[in-house]
Amino acid sequence: MSNSTKHPQSAPAATLTHLRADGTALMVDVSSKDETTREATAQAVVATTAEVLSLLGAGELPKGDALAVARVAGIMAAKKTPELIPLCHPLPISKVTVDFALAATSITVTALVKTRSVTGVEMEALTAASVAALSLYDMIKAVDKHAVLTDIKVLAKSGGKSGDWVL
């Protein structure tokens, strides 16, 4: 994502595009927008215990290969985003990757989604990262019922009229 700009944390509030003048919801009309290659990266973090990370690394969790299950869940979730988020447009997703970074007491899930379309894939990336993290929770809850999902956010996006940015 070259030519990226830092996401403006204190940018002026933009008009909400998913609301009509009377305040009711609408799906944004994107029919006049140009088709471009668009990409978004999002993350979710699963905070857990060192014991879980040890079992995960050794492939010894009671439910099996948590990372493989979570990866497939995240990919599937990206493709199902318009079924889960009411105002999202169905998109021809061309690429989804879900990766994991294991630390001492956490797992960072990073999802990248790419398309060539008239609207972005931030929601698809957020959904992929979130559902992968939820799947990890499901796979580790037998060992750690107190795991916490946190730091779900878009890290970067490229393509489209609003330009590129990186958090």
Supply the Cα-derived Rg of the chain in whole angstroms: 18
Which entry of 34, 65, 99, 138 is annotated as an active-site residue? 138
The boundaries of the domain holding residue 131 are 35-161
Give domain status of residue 61, yes or no: yes
The residues with which 111 forms a beta bridge, in sequence order, are 42, 98
Residue 9 located in a structural domain: no
Enter the pTM of the model. 0.87
What pLDDT is recorded for position 16?
A: 61
In a domain, 18, yes or no: no
**Cβ–Cβ < 8 Å for 143, 52:** yes
Residue at 52 is within a domain: yes
In this predicted structure, the answer to whether residue 69 has a pLDDT above a threshold of 80 is: yes
CA distance readout (Å), 143 to 25, 61, 136: 42, 8, 12
pLDDT in tens, 74-97: 999 999 999 999 999 999 999 999
Q: Does the pLDDT of residue 21 top 90, yes or no?
A: no
Q: What CATH number is associated with residue 82? A: 3.30.70.640
Q: Does 138 participate in catalysis according to the annotation?
A: yes
3 found inside a domain: no
In a domain, 1, yes or no: no
d(CA 146, CA 148): 6
Confirm whether 166 is domain-assigned.
no
Number of domains present in the structure of the chain: 1
Question: 8 pLDDT exceeds 70?
Answer: no
